[in-house]
Amino acid sequence: MRIAEDLGVEVDIVMYIKTPPDADTLRSIIAKLEDEPTALVRRDSMWKKLGLTDDDAATDEQIVNLLVKHKQLLQRPVVVTADTAIVGRPKERVTELLAPLASRSGNDAG
């Protein structure tokens, strides 16, 4: 992720199609999420093709089950730190989340 690289923050990038998050990982992300949990679900052509409605992603558990079953519906990027998770749109949100980590890692280096 270029923003993290520009800030000098080390990140692990998870390719969600090859290595989709399991139910426990999704629950952990939801627990840290600053956004509404429904923000994790893309409402795109796949959503429409599956005939889904907002009622299908109304609760945390419905969201977890939906994303485990249809990993393509996971909004991206999702950025997760030790304490916080966000949907990284717009990209400035990623900078806001990671910038304090960059200053901490810079202080640790000295």
- What is the residue extent of each domain of the chain? 2-104
pLDDT at 79 over 50: yes
Whole-angstrom Cα distance, residue 38 to residue 72?
A: 15
pLDDT at 108 over 50: no
Angstrom distances, CA of residue 80 to CA of 13, 34, 83, 105: 10, 10, 8, 17
CA angle 50, 45, 36 (to 5 degrees): 85
pLDDT at 65 over 90: yes
45: confidence class by pLDDT, cuts 50, 70, 90: very high
10: confidence class by pLDDT, cuts 50, 70, 90: confident
- Number of residues that make up the chain: 110
Averaged over 10-23, what is the pLDDT?
A: 86
Residue 87, helix vs strand vs coil: strand
Q: Which two tokens stand for residue 40?
A: 């994790």
Give this prediction's pTM.
0.84
CATH class of 2-104: alpha beta
Averaged over 66-88, what is the pLDDT?
A: 93
